Structure 1
Amino acid sequence: MTDRMMRDMLQSPVLANTARPPQVIVDGEYFHNESAQRLNKNVIADRLRVALNNAAAGRMVFVARHNADMVEQERRLKRAGKVDVGTTGLTKAAAGGDYRLSGRINSIDAVNVRSGVAQRYNQVVFEMVDLERGTIVWSGMYEFSRAAADDVVYR
């Protein structure tokens, strides 16, 4: 799913064909799991961010919002003179996001009482939201299903 999503995003002219690379936030903050299964949404977000960052080859810049505390701490140390400014110098502010990825994960479960086969249909919807205008500049829906006769193995 993440590979397909990465290819879809990089084909979007709004995201990949701009004069200045857009600054994008990809973290698990606005992913909602409404499925019947427990899952770590940060695993999906991390995989997407890493794959997109590698494939974007500079066409998108990724804001490390999940590391905002770390960035803020270093900025305070530099401005207080406790450490030097490093090699890149100082900026007025940390990077803001142009777009942020949000998503929802849903599932529908069914069990055949005669055969004992459990089947789960999964749907994952992602939207890239313009953080100034509130518009959706890209969206993708990914579906898959799984089935198994033994519910313990199935889960």
Structure 2
Amino acid sequence: MMSNRILAARETPPRVIIDNEYMTNESSSIINTNMLTDRLRVGLNRAANGRMVFVGREYAGMVEKEREMKRDGAVDGGTIRKTQATAGADYRLAGRVSSQDAIDRESQTKSRYHQVVFEMVDLELGTIVWSNMYEMKKASQDNVLYR
């Protein structure tokens, strides 16, 4: 993602949302998709080094509450700027986890193939500006659900 010119080589860093909102788990496994998006966001935030700005949309309620207290005079304005509105985003990550299970009838080996697709969507045009797919497979003669 950091080598994508649309995302990481702009003069003004794009605002990006990476959260769990549009990450779906269609696999037969119980997967914590928050862990996937949190890990990706933290790693990208470190690697971006200012080339992308990450919008914490899941913290919108907290931000609005603080802004309201500032505007009402309950607290001072803080040390950073006062803005008309909170940050809008240019791009948002979406994705899907899917799986396929199989069994070898001769050896009774059970296997599960997982595929994780990430796509960065332009929030004005609806176009996909970056995508990647990751896959993994595990196999066992025990039940793969418990491995």
Equivalent residue letter for 1:119: S
Match of 1:36 among 14, 28, 36: 28
1:68 has 2:60 as partner: yes
Q: Could you report, residue by residue, the CA deviation over 1:32-88 in whole angstroms, capped at 9, with x for unpaired residues?
A: 111011111111010011000001000000000011111111111111110111110
Matches within 5 A, 1:2-17: 9-17=1-9
- Following TM superposition, where does structure 1 have runs of at least 4 consecutive aligned residues deviating by more than 4 angstroms? none
1:122 has 2:105 as partner: no
Matches within 5 A, 1:4-153: 9-151=1-143
Q: State how many pairs are aligned.
A: 147
CA contact (8 A) 1:148 1:154 kept: no
2:89 is paired with a residue whose SS is coil
2:13 is paired with a residue whose SS is coil
Q: CA-atom RMSD, angstroms?
A: 1.2
Equivalent residue letter for 1:42: N
Q: Quote how far apart the aligned CAs of 1:153 are.
A: 6.9
Q: Quote how far apart the aligned CAs of 1:118 are.
A: 1.2
Separation (CA, whole Å) in 2 of partners of 1:153 and 1:40: 15
Separation (CA, whole Å) in 1 of partners of 2:109 and 2:144: 11
More helix as a share of residues: 1
Unaligned runs of 5+ in 2: none
Q: Quote how far apart the aligned CAs of 1:90 are.
A: 1.0
Unaligned runs of 5+ in 1: 1-8
